[in-house]
Amino acid sequence: MNDRVIIFDTTLRDGEQALPASLSEREKLQIALMLERLGVDVIEAGFPVSSPGDFKSVQLIAREIKNATVCGLSRALEKDIDACGEALSVADNFRIHTFIATSDIHVDTKLRKSQDEVVEMAVHAIKHARRYTSDVEFSCEDAGRTHIDYLCRMVEAAIHAGATTVNIPDTVGYTIPSEFGGIVDALFNRVPNIDKAIISVHCHNDLGLAVANSLAAVQAGARQVECTVNGVGERAGNCSLEEIVMTLKTREQLLKLQTGIKTNEISKASKLVSQLCNMPVQANKAIVGANAFSHSSGIHQDGVLKGQNTYEIMTPESVGINKNVLNLTSRSGRHVIKHRLGELGYKDDEFDLDAVYASFLRLADKKGQVFDYDLEALLFFNQQKHEDAFYSLTYLHATSGQNIIPSATVTIQAGNRSITQTSIGNGPVDAAYNAIIAAIDGDDLEIVDFKLDSKGEGADALAQVSLIVEYKHRRFNGIGLATDIVEAGVKAFIFVLNNMYLADQIDQQKQEKIAGV
């Protein structure tokens, strides 16, 4: 049996649909390019039929990605499959992933069809997808709770219809490893044409067993694992890409299995997804958590000093974690910044050196010393700036203190107009937000979440504000970074306003297209 495990990443589909606010097209593309650099085999870019925005994002990713197979999800319906085919047609390599539920509880309660009808729908969907591509994946939704006899029947029919990959999802995270591995083992023993397709698994983490279940399935013969960076996804999330990959790598001698993942890119991918998705990684998270390679116990520290492998089964460098040993000052030149970014794993074409250096100098003047984590935060923030921003901040002044009513004056550039507004609030950030809302007549938007985090260490750490705003029944996410909390909050709001403006432009173009303008 093949010892290569295909890594199918669904961060942009299963992971993104569980976020409190949708990612923009640019953010989705940024994650897709990172996944390609990571060495992911298949990137599930989205669910094209779900919305015009998702269709456009999938199409953009399909056009830009060259070294991975781009995949789109569809229900077992012709209109869904047609949307996938159209969105993905610009790709060099693409896959259509269609699915239907197979468990009794889903078939009887949700689909309200007979088992025969469900098999017929699945077969028809697979054959329809084959009109667009020979790379068709079929998923038996809620396979973990499907009777094994019916599951075997469905898998055999799907392969006979032309599915080249058949996915066995533990959709609700119900099974335990011995049980789930047994399901996959039974399929290999009972389905006569099983050798004609790759068996995949997609495990959810409701009981904290997604990685363990995926590993058990791989040991039973599955050769594709569907996962997400940082384990993001519905409810308790999905199988964590970094955990399954590093398990296979660390225990390669035992498992005799390999992936094509460039593990030294894992830390960077984790940080990017955490930042863009506004989902902090818990400190004790395996592989990528802040404490994953730290040692507090005196016995452990002594052991590591004497021999790293006494308490570390993998090195920080193996997943791309660098020690913060270098600090930079305003006297550092461009070439030093470029060199340090290179040491951190960033290629020249991944950043605008002039923009990063300008931001670095401003920060160095405020902080004195700039560390690696500061540099990476600046790089991330510069990548998030809108290239053609409609709104920009040109002036900010806020006052606050004991027995003083907080107030703020804000000047923003809105296209060709410069608007200045002063307002009061419960605090300086609230006052600044009230001023911005008044400046843009934004009574129809609502701030639903505000998170403040520090990027770095000590009292002079950078402040990062993550903001979610609801507008026209949609949620938009924005991130702001500055040494000053109020400034970071305002930058996050401006970021959101630009996302909202772009969304309005897309909606307007859609309406004009419908009207035939």
- pLDDT tens, per residue, the chain with 517 residues: 689 999 999 999 998 887 877 788 888 999 999 999 999 999 999 999 999 989 999 999 999 999 999 999 999 999 999 999 999 999 989 999 999 999 999 998 888 999 999 999 999 999 999 999 999 999 999 999 999 999 999 999 999 999 999 999 999 999 999 999 999 999 999 999 999 999 999 999 999 999 999 999 999 999 999 999 999 999 999 999 999 999 999 999 999 999 999 999 999 999 899 988 888 888 889 999 877 776 444 444 445 445 556 656 788 888 887 654 455 777 788 888 888 788 777 778 778 888 888 888 877 876 677 766 677 767 766 665 655 678 889 999 999 988 899 999 999 998 889 999 999 999 999 999 999 999 998 888 999 889 888 776 666 677 888 888 888 888 887 888 888 899 999 988 998 888 888 778 767 776 776 666 5
Token digits of residue 62: 């399909």
Domain contains 452: yes
Q: What is the DSSP letter of 239?
A: -
Instruction: Tell me if 481 sits within 8 A of 488, measured CB to CB.
Output: yes
Distance CA 271, CA 2 (A): 32
Domain contains 21: yes
Domain contains 205: yes
Distance CA 482, CA 495 (A): 13
Residues 114 and 84 in one domain: yes
Instruction: Tell me if 174 sits within 8 A of 207, measured CB to CB.
Output: yes
Distance CA 307, CA 330 (A): 38
Residues 442 and 304 in one domain: no
**With DSSP H G I counted as helix, E B as strand and the rest as coil, what are the percentages for the chain, rounded to 5?**
50, 25, 30
pLDDT value of position 294: 63
Residues 368 and 406 in one domain: no
Domain contains 516: no
Domain containing residue 241: CATH number: 3.20.20.70
Residues 377 and 396 in one domain: no
Residues 304 and 447 in one domain: no
Residues 91 and 195 in one domain: yes
pLDDT value of position 316: 81
pLDDT value of position 275: 84
pLDDT value of position 324: 46
Residues 362 and 474 in one domain: no
Residues 168 and 43 in one domain: yes
Largest CA distance in the chain: 79
Among 363, 384, 405, the domain-final residue is 384
Q: How far, in Å, are 20, 23, 30, 367 from residue 378 at the CA level?
A: 24, 20, 16, 13
Tokens 């297209």 found at: 513
pLDDT value of position 466: 85
Residues 411 and 480 in one domain: yes
- Give how many domains the chain has, as a whole number: 4
pLDDT value of position 299: 45
pLDDT value of position 408: 94
Residues 192 and 63 in one domain: yes
Domain contains 258: yes
- Coil vs helix vs strand at 133: coil
Strand (E) or helix (H) holding 260: none
Domain containing residue 458: CATH number: 3.30.160.270
Residues 193 and 224 in one domain: yes
Distance CA 411, CA 425 (A): 17
Domain contains 1: no
Residues 230 and 357 in one domain: no
Q: Which domain holds residue 305?
A: 296-321
Give 91-147 pLDDT, tens digit per residue. Answer: 989 999 999 999 999 998 888 999 999 999 999 999 999 999 999 999 999 999 999
Domain contains 199: yes
Domain contains 291: no
